[in-house]
Structure 1
Amino acid sequence: MKRRLLLRVAPYNRFTWPLLLNILEINGLDDAFDIRFVDGPVAMIIDDHLADARRDDIMLFSFMTPHLAHVAGDIAAVRGRVITAAGGIHTSAWPDHTRSLGFDIVFTGPAERSFAEFARDITEQNTYRDRYDGSDNDPFDDAIPLTRHIRFFPPLEIIRGCRWHCRYCATGRHPRYRSFASVERYLEKLREIVPHRVGFIAPSALDYGIHENDPDALARVLSHARSRFRFVEFGVFPSELRPESVTHESLSMIKRYATNRRLVIGCQSASNKRLSAIARGHTADDVIRAAATANECGFRALFDIIVAYPDETPDERSENILFIRDVTKRYNARFHLHHFFPLAGSDYEFRFPSFMSDAERNAFLSLAQNGTATPWWHEDEKNARAYFSYIVKNYPDLYARYH
């Protein structure tokens, strides 16, 4: 009987599993496992998948800091029934803390080499280490997010990491860029399966090619994609744009090859003081210019803003609200509002949010009523409060590090 490999599926990690399974496939290791995708409440998972599980079956988790309390509940329920393993940005930043949750194995960094090592250890030697570390020097081009085990086709990661180092962000700080040959191979394989739509992952989307000082690299990727797919998405999640990169030239290139007519652009704050504090590298005026340029090129701009940063003042919040109203009115833009969350591995990993007053919360909620901004921040705020409630109760020494 094959050892079960149970992948704990959640909305926040759905892009992870096809790539991991492809790593197994290209190393000839996937047939050694009974691969199962498990989702839903943990009690249901126990009934459906763990009632007859063996102790040497494996359950994999991938998560970020906002999901910690939920994942901890899952681990408490399944611990001892199967081998549990964790990866993802939170685990990479805080591997020892992740182990303390009850995980048997932690994976840090990229998984292209380390996950294959783990699979060989457990299938060939029936053993495993408690920690597997990836490296930025590990192969990036070989694995692609396509697998025969599930009909789900995530966008292709063409940039991993980001060179901008914004203080609230936990994205890796040593960017790597997928080669054109690897992109081409992915596009050809995807076309054989789903010949109508393709997208890309790039934290700062227009940076592709900067590593080779090749301004035409991105155009080659998008042109190749457009010649093979009816719909090509670029400049929207998960390939957002920075405002200062939005020019008539760059948008003309996107419009020529991509089929989306909306762009997601990182604003993050209307306050130049806050933009400087979080090391964004642009100004509020850059955001306004991006909105105008998007309109002139036939796009609608959707801007991300984060509220409740550490040390954020009431004046900054008022500035954000006025800015949102002005830009949406003048440029038919829309804003996606998020709430600050201290992510493990970021410069702000031990900073408290500046939680808003009831009046401030109502003011931001009112923006959603007329469609100028999303209320996503509201759920983010709940997650932040739940996280701190969990940490202060279960890890008081860790909680004491926040300020």
Structure 2
Amino acid sequence: MKINWRSIPWAKNSFAALSAACELSDITLHEVSSPENDITCYSLNSVNEPPHFRDEISDAECITIVGGPHPTACWEEVRQYADYVVIGEGGEYTMPALINMIASGSQILPAGVASKEQVVMPNHSVLLSSYPPFSVVKGGYTEISRGCPFGCGYCQTPRLCGRHMHHRRIDDIERATRVFRDVRFVTPNALAYGSDGIHLRLDKVEQLFKSLTGRRIFFGTFPSEVRPECISDASLHLIESYCANRKVHFGAQSGSNHVLQMLRRGHTAEDVMTAYDCCRDHGLTPIVDYIVGLPYESDDEQRLSVTQMKEISRGGGIVHVHHFTPLPGGTPLAGGTSARSILPDVQRELGRLAQSGKATGSWIDAEVRFFKEHEDQLS
């Protein structure tokens, strides 16, 4: 039986991780550009799912297995056109178990799988160090943490991976990254490594850095962004001392305290500016994320975000801006909310920032958020 993986550029890390997990069960995933017999697997998010892949999967003349953030959130919908849906974060365990079930002819679904006839909800999470982050297939990034204790209204992470942070062991990270000269990480909050996500353990972060001697470490930059309240003299001193990046990427999302409170962000607009000032004091360029068009923001609050963006850009920072996209998956902003229009004067100001090289992202086409490579944020 041939097991295929549908090649999708923005799912390379998923391919690397699941390929490595399948190898532990003597299953090889073959990368393909269209569905092929016997089984073809997909990883989809909420932007790339409709309509192209939905139609492709529905018309496929093979068994289809679909996982990822969108199928987890909308499994009842996805199982109408896919044969099997993997639900939740446990793909490393669930996908090999499902493939073995299909190969054996059994009808007993493993936990975390839905078919057209039945569903068995997930009852497990992944112990990261039980699985290699990659093997023959390399994703380019090493996942070191999952989960997030914060419940930001727009974010799927705590709904997909839980609110309890879990981490890959330092010795496993060191062993896995020996194949790289430049080491980059995937994590919801890089500076929370080794901690519960709220009470930082910078001693664990330093132990991680020390284990990677001889390699160029990129930490706190895409795709291992940090939260603004985690930025301090102590945390930036570690990045200065051990890391190659001279940029630090963190999320503001709004310049309005009212909007931040409604989003359940867990920090203030003042925290953002404190983090910005701290980065400048350490000679590091801050890259700061914003979302415009949030359903909670008034016209004045949308302009307040732009005012903060301009202040950051004047001091040498870069802002990364996107138009709000409601995501399914139990996110509080998923049901019945829609993006507000971006004010004409805000559009003009963002355009000026972009022309001067001080703003990146997309506040017009939401798909750019998922499809465009973030090369400008990697160093």
TM-score between the two structures when normalised by the length of structure 2 = 0.86
- Corresponding residue number in structure 2 for 1:275: 260
- Corresponding residue number in structure 2 for 1:178: 167
Check whether the contact 1:7–1:61 (CA below 8 A) recurs between aligned residues.
yes
Q: Offset of 1:311 from its aligned partner?
A: 3.4
Match of 1:233 among 218, 224, 244: 218
- Corresponding residue number in structure 1 for 2:376: none
Residue 163 in 1 paired to residue 152 in 2?
no
- Corresponding residue number in structure 2 for 1:38: 32
Do the aligned partners of residues 189 and 208 (structure 1) sit closer, same or farther apart at CA in structure 2, a change above 3 Å counting? closer
- Corresponding residue number in structure 1 for 2:82: 103
Do the aligned partners of residues 153 and 14 (structure 1) sit closer, same or farther apart at CA in structure 2, a change above 3 Å counting? closer
Match of 2:248 among 263, 274, 278: 263
Cα distance between partner residues in 1 of 2:69 and 2:123 = 13
Cα distance between partner residues in 1 of 2:120 and 2:205 = 33
Do the aligned partners of residues 377 and 249 (structure 1) sit closer, same or farther apart at CA in structure 2, a change above 3 Å counting? same
Q: Secondary structure at the match of 2:47?
A: helix
Do the aligned partners of residues 179 and 360 (structure 1) sit closer, same or farther apart at CA in structure 2, a change above 3 Å counting? closer
- Corresponding residue number in structure 1 for 2:328: 344
Match of 1:67 among 40, 48, 56: 48
- Number of equivalenced pairs: 353
Q: Secondary structure at the match of 2:183?
A: strand
Q: Secondary structure at the match of 1:374?
A: strand
Match of 2:227 among 242, 252, 277: 242
Cα distance between partner residues in 1 of 2:340 and 2:266 = 22
Match of 1:220 among 197, 207, 211: 207
Answer with 298-307 or 88-97: which moved more: 88-97
Larger Rg: 1
Match of 1:116 among 96, 99, 103: 96
Do the aligned partners of residues 210 and 188 (structure 1) sit closer, same or farther apart at CA in structure 2, a change above 3 Å counting? closer
Cα distance between partner residues in 2 of 1:155 and 1:381 = 22
Do the aligned partners of residues 26 and 248 (structure 1) sit closer, same or farther apart at CA in structure 2, a change above 3 Å counting? same
Q: Deviations over 1:334-381 (max 9, x none)?
A: 100011111112111121111224554344223211222114222217
Do the aligned partners of residues 28 and 105 (structure 1) sit closer, same or farther apart at CA in structure 2, a change above 3 Å counting? same
Match of 1:82 among 53, 62, 72: 62
Q: Deviations over 1:153-193 (max 9, x none)?
A: 3322221111111111110232332242xx423432431x3
Residue 140 in 1 paired to residue 138 in 2?
no
Q: Secondary structure at the match of 1:274?
A: helix
Identity of aligned residues (%): 26
Q: Offset of 1:324 from its aligned partner?
A: 1.2
Q: Which amino acid aligns with 1:220?
A: Q
Check whether the contact 2:144–2:185 (CA below 8 A) recurs between aligned residues.
yes
Q: Deviations over 1:96-154 (max 9, x none)?
A: 01112x00000011212211211221233376742565444443321122222x3x333
Q: Offset of 1:310 from its aligned partner?
A: 1.1
- The root-mean-square deviation of aligned C-alpha atoms, in Å, is 2.3
Q: Which amino acid aligns with 1:187?
A: E
- Corresponding residue number in structure 1 for 2:112: none
Answer with 338-347 or 128-137: which moved more: 128-137
Q: Which amino acid aligns with 1:335?
A: V
Flag the structure with higher helix content. 1
Cα distance between partner residues in 2 of 1:272 and 1:159 = 28
Match of 2:272 among 287, 292, 317: 287
- Corresponding residue number in structure 2 for 1:393: none
Do the aligned partners of residues 383 and 160 (structure 1) sit closer, same or farther apart at CA in structure 2, a change above 3 Å counting? closer
Q: Offset of 1:12 from its aligned partner?
A: 2.2
Residue 314 in 1 paired to residue 308 in 2?
no
Do the aligned partners of residues 155 and 162 (structure 1) sit closer, same or farther apart at CA in structure 2, a change above 3 Å counting? same
Do the aligned partners of residues 85 and 299 (structure 1) sit closer, same or farther apart at CA in structure 2, a change above 3 Å counting? same
Check whether the contact 2:318–2:359 (CA below 8 A) recurs between aligned residues.
yes
Cα distance between partner residues in 1 of 2:86 and 2:182 = 32
Q: Deviations over 1:201-246 (max 9, x none)?
A: 1112211222397541111112212x141x1110011111111111
Answer with 125-134 or 298-307: which moved more: 125-134
Q: Offset of 1:298 from its aligned partner?
A: 1.9
Do the aligned partners of residues 260 and 138 (structure 1) sit closer, same or farther apart at CA in structure 2, a change above 3 Å counting? closer
